[in-house]
């Protein structure tokens, strides 16, 4: 079963472009990289020639010459397949097993630019960090793939019309309560199943949550089996402990002692870094947020952390899918962390496919006056604070602290209410009145946030001073 990915549009444009570079597809294991390439070839009328270096590591020898014509001759003889520029996609899968092959891609760009080459690997980031050769800067193009988003999840379940409604929704529309409730129930299902393509496909085909659970446990075991490739036995033990502890720490500033209080912090830090390189985790850095880009003012010692996928989080936490499918208790179990995982998992991939996913938050630690804004995003050079609420209600004290300190006039909130735009005002420290616009969206509309913000900017101009 194929589930349509938004990156497919980028790949179609890449195939049609006269000037294209070899493409490197980056992402964690089992997020659907190989399937995306197979579907792209099928839908666009290209032949697919796959070289899997995990299955055939010896094939790396064919790339030793760094001469594209010779490499293609060797591959054709080996595979008994014709590789024709403009008609064939050469897919170098699991390339982390032969990272030296990445270096040869520059020669394809220079000497055989009409051949479409895609490379992918489940541990590519880790392999690239270890490679002793210089990466061919400017001669490769990268795109990033994460788990299925909520909209892709809807498509996978056959909810095309529901997804179409979300894609075309505007603030002028009214969402009937029955449809709102349906979307919240589908979101609850997404919390449970998650966005790993195999898990979603299994549910779409069987409707059996027990079968979904087996798939997710298999994925978790596969991710952990890879740890032996990261280091020695002691490192593997720490990686397993870190892997299983991180889902309990989502939405909180990470403190190394919460993972292992008997080890020196640098060992735990190294384990986290390796999991991040494998795209199993994502750091959310604190930014002072005095201006853009947000990454210019990060504190690398202060970060929160997200896991790869909300469905895997629930499985590691031991959440029983069958018990929670038909009741509201999901919103009560670890509710804030799950909502923050879900929103962060989407915000990380809302930027263009070729931008590396990055997330930021803001906090101020003062005795008796701690403040934290869950996420920060930028739009039209404005910094927009984002608050995530698991239910309908929730105080906005931290959001107000940020707005006062940074003198911003637009904020975004996700909760389980219907969409709403409201004009708000708060008193500043010097007794002035600060007016701001609060955009509230239901959690299931996170993918629509940039498009809806754009509508506001077009209709009302900039919101920053």
What's the pLDDT tens digit per position in 415-446?
999 999 999 988 876 667 889 999 999 999 99
User: 378: which residues sit within 8 A by CB, 6+ positions away?
Assistant: 292, 293, 294, 384
How far is it, in rounded angstroms, from Cα 145 to Cα 274? Answer: 18
Say if residue 86's pLDDT is above 80.
yes
Place of tokens 């032969």: 98
Q: What is the mean pLDDT of residues 189-199?
A: 96
pLDDT bracket for residue 232 (50, 70, 90): confident
Q: Over range 9-25, report the average pLDDT.
A: 93
Q: For position 364, what pLDDT does the model report?
A: 85
Residues 6+ apart with CB under 8 A from 422: 437, 438, 440
pLDDT at residue number 78:
96
Query: Whose CA is closest to 148, among 341, 309, 38?
Result: 309
Residue 78 three-state SS? helix
Residue 275 — very low, low, confident or very high, per pLDDT cuts 50/70/90? very high
The whole-angstrom separation of Cα 350 and Cα 359 is 11
pLDDT tens digit sequence for 127-157: 766 666 566 677 899 999 999 999 999 999 9
Residue with more model confidence, 312 or 126: 312
Cis peptide upstream of residue 121 (ω within 30 degrees of 0):
no
Residue 412, SS3? strand
Query: What gap in Å lies between CA 319 and CA 322, rounded to an integer?
Result: 9
CA distance 188 to 311: 11
pLDDT at 369: 66
For residues 296 and 339, give the distance between their C-alpha atoms in angstroms, rounded to a whole number.
27
What global pTM score does this model have? 0.92
DSSP string, 207-226: --HHHHHHHHHHHHHHHHHG
Above 50 in pLDDT, residue 332? no
219 pLDDT more than 80: yes
3-state SS, residue 49: strand
Q: What are phi and psi of 238, to 5 degrees?
A: -70, -40
Q: Name the β-bridge partners of 144.
A: 26
Look at residues 363, 9, 313 and name the one whose alpha carbon lies nearest to residue 151. 9
Alpha carbons 106 and 319: distance in angstroms, whole number? 47
Collapsing DSSP to helix, strand or coil, 101 comes out as helix
184 touches 38 (CB < 8 A): no
Q: How does residue 326 score in pLDDT terms, banded at 50, 70 and 90?
A: low
User: What stretch(es) of the chain map to CATH 3.40.50.300?
Assistant: 7-144
Contacts of 403 (CB under 8 A, 6+ apart): 385, 409, 411, 426, 434, 436
Among residues 138, 186, 135, 197, the alpha carbon closest in space to that of 160 is found at: 186
8 A C-beta contact, residue 449 and residue 412: yes
pLDDT of residue 4: 86
- 311 within 8 A of 196, measured Cβ to Cβ: yes
Tokens read off for 398: 């931290």
CB within 8 A of 223, min separation 6: which ones?
28, 29, 30, 243, 278, 280, 308
Computed on alpha carbons and rounded to an integer, the radius of gyration of the chain in Å comes to 23
Question: What does DSSP assign to residue 197?
Answer: H
What CATH architecture is 7-144?
Answer: 3-Layer(aba) Sandwich (3.40)
Q: Which residue has the higher pLDDT, 460 or 122?
A: 122
pLDDT of residue 381: 85
Question: 215 with 199: CB under 8 angstroms?
Answer: yes
Pick the closest to residue 186 from 325, 346, 341 (CA basis): 325
Which residues on adjacent β-strands are paired with residue 88? 47
Determine the pLDDT at residue 324. 54
């Amino acid at each position: 079963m194929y589930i349509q990915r938004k990156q497919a549009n980028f790949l179609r444009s890449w195939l049609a472009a006269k000037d294209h570079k070899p493409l490197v597809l980056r992402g964690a294991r089992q997020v659907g990289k190989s399937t995306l390439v197979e579907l792209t070839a099928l839908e666009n009328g290209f032949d697919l020639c796959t070289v899997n270096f995990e299955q055939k590591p010896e094939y790396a020898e064919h790339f030793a010459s760094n001469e594209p014509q010779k490499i293609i001759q060797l591959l054709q003889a080996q595979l008994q397949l014709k590789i024709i520029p403009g008609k064939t996609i050469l897919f170098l899968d699991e390339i982390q097993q032969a990272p030296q092959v990445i270096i040869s891609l520059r020669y394809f760009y220079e000497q055989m630019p009409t051949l479409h080459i895609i490379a992918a690997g489940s541990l590519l980031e880790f392999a690239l960090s270890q490679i002793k050769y210089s990466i061919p800067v400017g001669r490769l193009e990268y795109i990033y793939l994460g788990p299925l988003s909520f909209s892709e999840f809807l498509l996978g379940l056959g909810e095309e019309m529901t997804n179409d409604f979300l894609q075309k929704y505007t603030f002028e529309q009214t969402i009937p309560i029955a449809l709102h409730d349906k979307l919240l129930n589908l979101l609850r299902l997404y919390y449970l199943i998650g966005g790993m393509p195999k898990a979603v496909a299994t549910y779409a085909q069987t409707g059996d949550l027990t079968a979904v659970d087996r798939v997710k446990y298999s994925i978790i075991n596969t991710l952990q089996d890879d740890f032996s490739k990261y280091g020695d036995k002691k490192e593997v033990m720490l990686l397993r402990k870190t892997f299983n502890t991180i889902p309990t720490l989502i939405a909180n500033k990470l403190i190394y002692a919460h993972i292992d209080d008997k080890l020196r912090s640098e060992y735990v830090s190294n384990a986290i870094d390796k999991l991040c390189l494998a795209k199993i985790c994502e750091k959310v850095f604190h930014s002072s947020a005095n201006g853009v880009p947000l990454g210019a003012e990060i504190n690398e010692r202060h970060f929160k952390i997200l896991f790869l996928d909300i469905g895997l989080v629930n499985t590691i936490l031991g959440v029983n899918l069958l018990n929670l499918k038909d009741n509201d208790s999901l919103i009560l179990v670890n509710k804030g962390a799950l909502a923050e995982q879900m929103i962060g998992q989407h915000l990380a991939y809302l930027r263009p496919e070729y931008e590396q996913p990055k997330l930021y938050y803001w906090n101020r630690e003062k005795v008796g006056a701690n403040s934290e804004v869950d996420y920060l995003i930028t739009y039209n050079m404005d910094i927009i604070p984002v608050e995530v609420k698991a239910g309908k209600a929730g105080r906005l004290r931290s959001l107000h602290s940020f707005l006062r300190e940074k003198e911003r006039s637009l904020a975004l909130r996700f909760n389980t209410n219907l969409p709403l735009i409201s004009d708000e005002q708060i008193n500043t420290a010097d007794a002035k009145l600060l007016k701001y616009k609060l955009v509230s969206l239901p959690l299931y509309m996170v993918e629509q946030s940039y498009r809806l913000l754009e509508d506001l900017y077009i209709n009302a101009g900039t919101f920053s001073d």
